[in-house]
Structure 1
Amino acid sequence: MQGSANLNVMIKAARKAGRSLTKDFREVENLQVSMKGAGDFVSRADIAAEDILKEELMGARPTYGWLGEEGGETPGQDPTRRWIVDPLDGTTNFLHGLPHWAISVALEHKGQIVAGVVYDAAKDEMFYAEKGQGAWLNDRKRLRVSGRTKMIESIFATGVPFAAKRTLPATLQDLARLMPECAGVRRFGSAALDLAYVAAGRYEGYWERELNIWDIAAGTLLVTEAGGMIDGLRDGQSALDGNLIAANGEIFNPFAKIIRNG
């Protein structure tokens, strides 16, 4: 796909940050880490990647706003546009030497996500989408959600809450209802990649509670542009509020019924 100038800036920035993270990933045992909450770590690599992304994105579009996981929010001169960035989604995987983590960059315009990039640097998979232009992988592969129509043939992804998160009981109840009805559930540790995998047809669906907007902003666009459905977990919720359910069109309703019946 021939992307817009903004999308090209996003892809370039993600690749540059990815090179920095990949270098640090090779020396993961030597990384110095600091704790920023129970079960939630941040590394120097994470902060360095956000600095690279901010330099590239704000350098190209200095009037846009900024919302980053590490650096917080900075309003822009243009109040209608902002970058929403997670420099390292899957930090715990990264710090344990597991090659399943991603950079997530989204562009919001007037409250809508209009462009998104999820870059899996360890596998060199660049997932990207623009509103109305479809979702794509690397140079030319068009993404489509899975065509499966039966729950018992479908696999799903979620995030099992860690440490003392209050959502653990609800998630365990979800699993108890869902697992007898499907082919399996995966917990890989990166919400951004979970959504990208739904868009790529690798999972039939995904759900999770209490995520941050930078975890999912780019991924939600990937799913819808690949022909999938995405919604809040409860009536009146927006997926971008952080409680979401996503799936292909055939599976969405039976899947959502199981998850929402809790």
Structure 2
Amino acid sequence: MALSPRLSPQLSVVVAAVRKAGKRLLRDFGEVEQLQVSVKGPSDFVSSADLRAEETLRQELSRARPNFAFLMEESGASGDDDWEHRWVVDPLDGTTNFLHGIPHWAISVGVERRMAPDRTELVAGVVYNPASDELFWAERGMGAFLNDRRLRVSARKELRDAVFATGIPFAGTPGKAEFSQVLARVMPQVAGVRRFGSAALDLAWTAAGRYDGYWELSLKPWDIAAGLVILREAGGFAADPEGGDPYAAGSVVCGNQVLQPKLRELVAEGVAYARRHQTRGEARPEAPSGGTPAGSDTPAA
């Protein structure tokens, strides 16, 4: 697919890099059973494909912008500590999907600019799913796009009509009690809840109106840097459960202007309830009346 004429020179660099890394990932995806896989945590895998993709992105982006620093999922922070711009990179978001042959995974590259010693802003982002050849991209003030089509968040206004996306904490990681309490509040009020396994694509799909909103707790900067720019440029709103900066907090609740505050209220209630009961030493608090019991195995719609 030819590059969109709307792309700035900076984003053209990113798109070329993610497409090159994407071609290599697709070859590995076709031979997923032969990948050498090491375990880096409970239910959190890193493959040789992941590492190769990160190195490809580092080489391509460094060549085009040698003065930019990096924050990358596998290798961490690098470059000048006094950076003005940096790439925030997840070379393979949705690794578990990838390793199971599920074609829902993406490369995510955000651009972060330092405005002051203690203040930065996200100014551009690209989320690319090589398996579907869907390229989501945005630059601050320029709108958001899927390939060459402009994106807008959904226009739904009622919770009962909405489909939300979320992420479920892996086994052995914190946040299970909070998630259970939030889900107990959300599910009785909405048309459905989906868990697809890629935060970057959850944000991009919310920007495209496929989801009406999305929430997830305890994320990393590379999970959401690009997606937040795309979402906001598509007219979406994002905050952490308390209404603060989701990028700084690492937790996000997003949607359109009407649904995002409603969803954020439910998420905040669930998180606060779980944490109050954890403080009191109650390992299994009850869900609110009419909700799904905490710890229930009832699947999302």
Question: For this structure pair, what is the TM-score category when the shorter chain's length is used for normalisation?
Answer: over 0.9
TM-score (norm 1): 0.97
2:251 is aligned with 1:243: yes
Deviation at 1:235, TM superposition (A): 4.2
Distance 1:73 1:118 in 2: 20
2:90 is aligned with 1:86: yes
2:121 is aligned with 1:112: yes
Deviation at 1:38, TM superposition (A): 1.1
| Residues 119/163 of structure 1: CA separation in 2 closer, same or farther (3 Å cut) | same
DSSP 3-state at the match of 2:209: coil
DSSP 3-state at the match of 2:70: strand
Q: Greater shift after overlay, 249-258 or 201-210?
A: 249-258
Note the 1:10-21 alignment, pairs <5 A.
10-21=14-25
Partner deviation per Cα, 1:181-216 (whole Å, 9 max, x = no partner): 000000000000000000000001001111000010
| Residue number in structure 2 paired with 1:26 | 30
Contact between 1:230 and 1:239, CA under 8 Å: does it hold in 2? no
| Residue number in structure 1 paired with 2:225 | 217
Counterpart of 1:202 (choices 206, 210, 214) is 210
2:177 is aligned with 1:173: no
Structure 2 segments unaligned to the other structure (5+ residues): 115-119, 271-301
Q: Greater CA radius of gyration, 1 or 2?
A: 2
DSSP 3-state at the match of 1:261: helix
DSSP 3-state at the match of 2:83: coil
| Residue number in structure 2 paired with 1:39 | 43
Equivalent pairs: percent with the same residue? Answer: 52
TM-score (norm 2): 0.85
Aligned partner of 1:254: which letter?
A: K
DSSP 3-state at the match of 1:103: strand
Counterpart of 1:191 (choices 176, 190, 199) is 199
Deviation at 1:237, TM superposition (A): 4.7
2:145 is aligned with 1:136: yes
Deviation at 1:168, TM superposition (A): 0.8
Distance 2:248 2:221 in 1: 6
Distance 1:66 1:215 in 2: 14
| Residues 62/77 of structure 1: CA separation in 2 closer, same or farther (3 Å cut) | farther
Contact between 1:85 and 1:106, CA under 8 Å: does it hold in 2? yes
Count of matched residue pairs: 261
Counterpart of 1:124 (choices 133, 149, 155) is 133
Structure 1 segments unaligned to the other structure (5+ residues): none
Partner deviation per Cα, 1:70-100 (whole Å, 9 max, x = no partner): 1111133861100000000000000011110
Distance 2:87 2:247 in 1: 18
Deviation at 1:236, TM superposition (A): 4.0
2:122 is aligned with 1:103: no
| Residues 156/134 of structure 1: CA separation in 2 closer, same or farther (3 Å cut) | same
User: After the TM superposition, which parts of structure 1 deviate over 4 Å for at least 4 consecutive aligned residues?
Assistant: none
Counterpart of 2:53 (choices 49, 67, 77) is 49
Distance 2:40 2:164 in 1: 30
Note the 1:139-158 alignment, pairs <5 A.
140-158=148-166
DSSP 3-state at the match of 1:82: strand
| Residues 226/74 of structure 1: CA separation in 2 closer, same or farther (3 Å cut) | same
